[in-house]
Homo-oligomer: A and B are copies of this chain.
Amino acid sequence: MASENNFQYNGHIKHRHLTLGLFGFGCVGQGLYHVLDETQGIKAEIKKICVKNRNKTRTLPEDIFTYDKEDVLNDPAIDVIVELIDDANAAFEIVKTALQNGKAVVTANKKMLAEHLEEIYLLQQRYGKPVLYEGAVCGSIPIIRNLEEYYDNDLLTGIEGIFNGSTNYILTKVFEEKKSYEVALQQAQALGFAESDPSLDVKGYDPKFKLAIAIAHTFGVFVKPENIINIGIDRISDLDLKFAYDNHYAIKLVARAFKIQNRVFGFVAPQFIESTHPLYAVRNEYNAVQLESAFAEKQLFVGKGAGSYPTGSAVLSDISALTYDYRYEYKKLHQSGNLQFSNHLVVEAFVSFEKGVNISISDFEQFESGYASHGKQYMVGKVTLLKLHEWSLLEGIGIILAPGATFAPQTEINRDKIPALVES
Interface positions of A (Cβ within 8 A of B): 5-6, 8-13, 31, 35, 38-42, 124-128, 130, 140-142, 145-146, 149-155, 276, 278, 280-281, 293-304, 307, 309-310, 312-314, 316-317, 320-321, 324-327, 329, 331, 335
Contact = CB atoms under 8 A, between A and B. Distances in A.
B313 A293 contact: yes
Contact of A320 (B9, B39, B40, B153): B153
A295 B310 contact: yes
Contacts of A293: 313
B335 A41 contact: yes
B297 A303 contact: yes
B299 A140 contact: yes
Contact of A317 (B40, B150, B331): B150
Top-6 shortest CB links A-B = A295-B313, A8-B128, A300-B302, A140-B296, A296-B313, A299-B303
A154 B316 contact: yes
A307 B40 CA distance: 39
Given A13-B327, A295-B316, 4 more contacts: A6-B128, A12-B325, A41-B153, A295-B312
Nearest to A124: B9
A101 to B, nearest CB: 14
Contacts of A11: 128, 325
Nearest to A303: B299
B304 A278 contact: no
Interface centre among A128, A141, A145, A316 (most CB of B within 10 A): A128
A250 to B, nearest CB: 12
B280 A13 contact: no
18 contacts: A5-B125, A9-B125, A12-B324, A38-B294, A41-B331, A140-B297, A142-B146, A145-B149, A146-B146, A149-B321, A150-B317, A152-B320, A153-B316, A154-B317, A296-B304, A297-B307, A298-B304, A301-B302
B317 A127 contact: no
A298 B335 CA distance: 34
Nearest to A326: B12
A153 B314 CA distance: 10
Contacts of A325: 11-12
A154 B313 contact: yes
A317 B152 contact: yes
Contacts of A309: 294-297
A146 B145 CA distance: 9
Contacts of A126: 5
Interface centre among A5, A6, A303 (most CB of B within 10 A): A303
A338 to B, nearest CB: 14
Contacts of A331: 41
Contacts of A314: 296
Contacts of A324: 12
Contacts of A153: 39, 41-42, 316-317, 320
A320 B153 CA distance: 7
B299 A300 contact: no
A310 B128 CA distance: 36
Contacts of A326: 12
A128 B40 contact: no
